Amino acid sequence: MPFSKSTRIMYYQPALMKKLGVTKVPTTWEELQALGKTLKSKGVAVVGFDQSFDMELEAWRVKMAMR
């Protein structure tokens, strides 16, 4: 989970990707979208957020950061 909505990086779980047969980290938006579809088809919950501010999202981010 990114620390800030303006963070321009992506976090992922290498072990999960390997388990699902994903061998290449996406380097374009098109590849990222394709990966999302692949993960969804394999039953993996794909979560994304836009740039709008949302108090519920901010509360969730704080809760996750405190784990």
The token pair at 19 is 């388990």
Residue 6 lies in a domain: no
Residue 32 lies in a domain: yes
Domain count within the chain: 1
Residue 49 lies in a domain: yes
Residue 4 lies in a domain: no
- What confidence score (pLDDT) does residue 13 get? 85
CB 11 within 8 A of CB 1: yes
CB 44 within 8 A of CB 16: yes
Residue 34 lies in a domain: yes
Question: Which domain does 61 fall in, by range?
Answer: 14-65
- What confidence score (pLDDT) does residue 55 get? 67
How far apart are alpha carbons 2 and 21 in whole angstroms? 24
Cα-based distances in Å from 7 to 1, 11, 14, 18, 21: 10, 11, 20, 25, 27
**Residue-wise pLDDT tens for the chain (67 aa)?**
555 555 566 778 889 889 988 888 888 888 888 988 888 898 888 766 555 656 677 777 788 888 7
